[in-house]
């Protein structure tokens, strides 16, 4: 699926076209949160209940509260991530409290990396990471659809080659 | 089969002539076992004493008889198996006795060439040559070469990297250098006296050990703290004087030449267009004399000083030669953050400033020790805008510019609207700034 040739996304106005992350990423992160904190709450409740008395097992509510908080946090964080491919550079914007917006000109790209762990693969997700000569450039887009990740990788490499510039 | 011509061409090319390092090199390697023994003795003195007491003359002689030839053999073999050669586009280093290692360094990627001569090497008339490339290892240096050979090799490498035809690269010889600046020893000594770090380490070395003695009465703990402190004090005063003595900055068609050192001499050459960032630093106590220190970042290079101390006008003239077409923006040209930035960074917000010219992104910071960083637009790898919650409350944001030397220059506490515009404009400038840049091979 080709969403556009370079001319297509040409700077028609300076407003970039933002793309968010797929909802599956949020589902995966929330599931992981629920599984791990649920297990922790269960273990804590059982241990305290058996060893110190039933009243102590109320401490198991702590991880549950954390889970509720994390649920909201993950949602907000997920919603804050977005990226845009412009004619000459890639924009990545993220963060709720600490916001960060990164601009990487295609010509500066040294390496484009697509990674996908076992859990991510199960949810059909892949991350794209761009490396420039500066290690401080932290341009990662987590949890993309694998097809989209590959399309982005190919397009970025292609554009990077066309506009290549070294150090 | 499809292209027999290519195959023939590959086969016909004569293999590059391989050379060996200077024959004194094995002596350097012979130090290793001795250093290990000394290290062990210092690490555990009691044990050493006991072991030494047990030694008889025979065992000592026997050990020496084994150890010295072994060390000599090791040194000789590593020297024997280390080769290097210069091809049209690469410097190839082949080394390793058991684990073979081959490094091919592409010449057009050279960021800087260093020829260093430690004191003993000066006595022996040899020198080390190191190519700074992004990702290069400490192992990739050629140590040692004959003094004249090192200079000739440097000239040849630079000529090839510059794009001279391979046949003529031999004869091009050393490019003539024109001296831009030489630091007088008096100024250097005075500048070190006027540096806070010198006195800070000295005071620590004089105050901490007596206090520790009063508290613990333990000779070992006092010694263990006093020695590193004295070492640090010496390194930051005498050590810096010795290494920055006779600092000379020159200009040649091959690029910038930086020579310095009293005991260990270092000659660095930075080809044109390799400088990523220049910083003009002005410590508090130097301000009355109008002195500044100039630092530079080159990708893959360890040296970061361009001028240890010089009057501002001279330093700015040097910067103008290093970054062609760049005028250091005067203090009045820098715009300060808005007043409300004081809520985010009391007092120190006044030290911050930003100026963007056609050629550079210039950001200043520091109130007592002022530092102005200049990044040519063409060297910007990525631009970032960051904003924390407290900064958002006061509608300010930071713009950070990442360079290829792994350094980040920040313009802090700009007005949020201005920062957003700056982000877009800077990305555009860094992209177009590249078009006017010179090619990697600077002579073509």
In this prediction, residues A100-119 reach a mean pLDDT of 90
Chain A residues in contact with B423 (beta carbon < 8 A): 101, 103
CB of B432 within 8 Å of any CB in chain A? no
What is the pLDDT of chain B when averaged over all its residues? 85
| Residues B70-124: tens digit of each pLDDT | 878 888 888 888 899 988 888 899 888 788 888 888 888 888 999 999 888 888 8
**Per-residue pLDDT, B6:** 46
Picking from B290, B266, B294, the residue whose alpha carbon sits closest to that of residue B281 is B294
Picking from A3, A165, A97, the residue whose alpha carbon sits closest to that of residue B388 is A97
- Count chain A–chain B contacts defined by CB atoms under 8 A: 88
| Residues B398-422: tens digit of each pLDDT | 999 998 888 899 999 999 999 999 9
At residue A50, does pLDDT exceed 60? yes
The verdict on a CB contact (< 8 Å) between A88 and B408 is: no
**Per-residue pLDDT, A11:** 43
Q: pTM for this one?
A: 0.82
| SS3 call for B164 | coil
Distance CA(B363)–CA(B205), nearest Å, equals 36
Task: Compare CB distances from A135 to B378, B406, B423 and report the shortest one's residue.
Answer: B406
pLDDT band at A103 (very low <50, low <70, confident <90, very high): very high
B299: closest CA of chain A, how far (Å) = 8
Contact B149, B205 (CB under 8 A): no
CA B106, B108, B112, B113 torsion-angle sign: positive
The verdict on a CB contact (< 8 Å) between B402 and A136 is: yes
Number of Cβ within 10 Å of residue B79's Cβ equals 20
The verdict on a CB contact (< 8 Å) between B384 and A101 is: yes
**Per-residue pLDDT, A7:** 40
CATH architecture of the region B271-435: Roll (2.30)
**What are B206's two structure tokens?**
């004089």
| SS3 call for B429 | helix
| Residues B158-207: tens digit of each pLDDT | 888 888 766 676 666 677 888 999 999 999 999 999 988 888 888 988 89
| Residues B362-381: tens digit of each pLDDT | 999 999 999 999 999 988 98
Picking from B109, B367, B408, the residue whose alpha carbon sits closest to that of residue B277 is B408
**Per-residue pLDDT, B9:** 46
Task: Compare CB distances from A101 to B276, B408, B423 and report the shortest one's residue.
Answer: B423
ipTM score of complex: 0.82
Task: Compare CB distances from B385 to A14, A97, A101 and report the shortest one's residue.
Answer: A101
| Residues B263-288: tens digit of each pLDDT | 999 999 998 888 999 999 999 999 99
CB of B440 within 8 Å of any CB in chain A? yes
CB of B338 within 8 Å of any CB in chain A? no
**Per-residue pLDDT, A166:** 61
| Residues A69-78: tens digit of each pLDDT | 999 999 999 9
Task: Compare CB distances from A103 to B382, B386, B403 and report the shortest one's residue.
Answer: B382
Chain A residues in contact with B428 (beta carbon < 8 A): 88
Distance CA(A105)–CA(B425), nearest Å, equals 12
Q: List B residues 130-159 in contact with A (Cβ-Cβ < 8 A).
A: 134
pLDDT band at B14 (very low <50, low <70, confident <90, very high): low
At residue A9, does pLDDT exceed 70? no
Sole residue written with tokens 């510019």: B401
Which one of B381, B398, B433 makes the best mutation probe of the A interface by having the most chain A beta carbons within 10 Å? Answer: B381
pLDDT band at A124 (very low <50, low <70, confident <90, very high): very high
- Pairing type for strands B380-387 and B370-376 reads unpaired
Distance CA(B152)–CA(B142), nearest Å, equals 13
In percent, how much of chain B has pLDDT > 70?
91
At residue B303, does pLDDT exceed 50? yes
Picking from B135, B363, B408, the residue whose alpha carbon sits closest to that of residue A136 is B408
| SS3 call for B250 | strand
CB of B386 within 8 Å of any CB in chain A? yes
B257: closest CA of chain A, how far (Å) = 20
Residue B154's alpha-carbon distances to B19, B73, B127, B254, in angstroms, are 15, 30, 11, 10
pLDDT band at B316 (very low <50, low <70, confident <90, very high): very high
**What are A108's two structure tokens?**
């500066």
Distance CA(B160)–CA(A109), nearest Å, equals 27
CB of B410 within 8 Å of any CB in chain A? no
pLDDT band at A3 (very low <50, low <70, confident <90, very high): very low
**Per-residue pLDDT, B436:** 64
Query: Which of the listed CATH numbers 3.40.50.300, 3.40.640.10, 2.30.29.30, 1.20.1250.20 matches domain B15-174?
Result: 2.30.29.30
Helix pair angle (B196-216, B219-234), 10° resolution: 180
Contact B368, B284 (CB under 8 A): yes
pLDDT band at A10 (very low <50, low <70, confident <90, very high): very low
The verdict on a CB contact (< 8 Å) between A134 and B382 is: yes
* B-chain residue closest to A104, CA distance: B382
| SS3 call for A112 | strand
**Do B15-174 and B271-435 have matching folds?**
yes
Q: List A residues 60-119 in contact with B (Cβ-Cβ < 8 A).
A: 88-89, 97-105, 107-108
Picking from B155, B111, B102, B123, the residue whose alpha carbon sits closest to that of residue B24 is B123
Cis peptide bond N-terminal to B144, omega within 30 = yes
In this prediction, residues A87-102 reach a mean pLDDT of 92
Chain A residues in contact with B434 (beta carbon < 8 A): 107, 165
The secondary structure element, H or E, covering residue B269 is: strand B265-270
pLDDT band at A5 (very low <50, low <70, confident <90, very high): very low
CB of B400 within 8 Å of any CB in chain A? yes
**Per-residue pLDDT, B262:** 93
Per-domain boundaries in chain B: 15-174, 185-244, 271-435
Which one of B298, B382, B383 makes the best mutation probe of the A interface by having the most chain A beta carbons within 10 Å? Answer: B382
At residue B32, does pLDDT exceed 70? no
At residue A8, does pLDDT exceed 50? no
Higher pLDDT among residues B303 and A86, named by residue: A86
The secondary structure element, H or E, covering residue A64 is: helix A61-80
Range with the poorest average pLDDT among B45-49, B80-84, B211-215, B243-247: B45-49
Helix pair angle (A61-80, A23-51), 10° resolution: 170
């Amino acid at each position: 699926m080709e969403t556009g040739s370079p001319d297509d996304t040409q700077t028609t106005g300076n407003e970039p076209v933002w793309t968010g992350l797929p909802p599956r990423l949020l589902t995966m992160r929330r599931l992981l949160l629920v599984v791990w904190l649920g297990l922790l709450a269960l273990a804590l409740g059982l241990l305290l209940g058996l060893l110190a008395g039933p009243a102590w097992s109320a401490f198991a509510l702590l991880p549950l509260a954390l889970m509720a908080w994390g649920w909201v946090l993950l949602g907000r964080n997920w919603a804050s991530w977005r990226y845009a491919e412009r004619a000459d550079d890639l924009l990545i914007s993220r963060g709720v409290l600490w916001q960060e917006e990164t601009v990487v000109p295609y010509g500066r790209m040294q390496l484009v990396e697509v990674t996908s762990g076992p859990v991510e693969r199960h949810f059909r997700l892949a991350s794209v990471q761009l490396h420039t000569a500066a290690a401080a450039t932290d341009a990662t887009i987590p949890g993309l659809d694998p097809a989209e990740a590959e399309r982005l990788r190919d397009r970025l490499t292609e554009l990077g080659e066309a506009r290549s510039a070294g150090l | 089969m499809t292209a027999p011509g290519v195959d023939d061409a590959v086969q016909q090319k004569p293999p590059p002539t391989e050379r060996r390092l200077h024959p004194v090199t094995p002596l350097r390697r012979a130090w290793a076992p001795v250093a290990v023994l000394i290290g062990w003795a210092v690490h555990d003195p009691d044990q050493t004493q006991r072991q030494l007491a047990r030694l008889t003359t025979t065992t000592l002689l026997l050990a020496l008889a084994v150890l010295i030839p072994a060390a000599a053999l090791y040194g000789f073999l590593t020297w024997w198996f280390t080769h290097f050669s210069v091809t049209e586009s690469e410097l190839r280093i082949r080394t390793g006795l058991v684990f073979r290692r081959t490094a091919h360094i592409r010449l057009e990627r050279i960021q800087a060439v260093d020829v260093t001569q430690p004191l003993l090497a000066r006595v022996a008339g040899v020198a080390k040559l190191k190519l700074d490339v992004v990702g290069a290892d400490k192992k990739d240096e050629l140590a040692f070469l004959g003094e004249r050979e090192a200079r000739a090799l440097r000239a040849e490498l630079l000529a090839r990297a510059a794009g001279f035809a391979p046949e003529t690269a031999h004869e091009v010889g050393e490019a003539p250098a024109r001296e831009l600046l030489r630091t007088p020893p008096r100024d250097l000594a005075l500048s070190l006296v006027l540096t806070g770090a010198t006195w800070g380490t000295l005071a620590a070395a004089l105050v901490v050990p007596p206090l520790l003695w009063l508290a613990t009465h333990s000779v070992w703990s006092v010694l263990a703290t006093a020695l590193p402190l004295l070492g640090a004090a010496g390194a930051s005063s005498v050590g810096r004087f010795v290494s920055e003595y006779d600092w000379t900055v020159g200009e040649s068609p091959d690029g910038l030449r930086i020579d310095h050192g009293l005991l260990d001499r270092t000659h660095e050459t930075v080809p044109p267009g390799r400088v990523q960032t220049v910083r003009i630093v002005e410590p508090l106590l130097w301000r009355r004399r109008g002195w500044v220190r100039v630092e530079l970042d080159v990708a893959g290079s360890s040296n970061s000083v361009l001028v240890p101390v010089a009057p501002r006008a001279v330093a700015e003239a040097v910067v103008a030669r290093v970054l062609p077409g760049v005028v250091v923006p005067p203090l009045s040209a820098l715009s300060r953050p808005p007043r409300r930035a004081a809520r985010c960074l009391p007092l120190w917000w006044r030290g911050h400033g930003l100026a963007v010219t056609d050629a550079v992104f210039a950001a200043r910071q520091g109130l007592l020790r002022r530092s102005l960083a200049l990044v040519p637009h063409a060297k910007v790898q990525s631009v970032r805008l960051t904003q924390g919650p407290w900064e958002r409350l006061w509608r300010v944001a930071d713009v950070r510019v990442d360079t290829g030397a792994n350094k980040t220059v920040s313009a802090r506490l700009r007005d949020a609207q201005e920062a957003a515009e700056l982000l877009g404009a800077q990305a555009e400038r860094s992209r177009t700034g590249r078009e006017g840049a010179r090619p990697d091979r600077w002579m073509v």
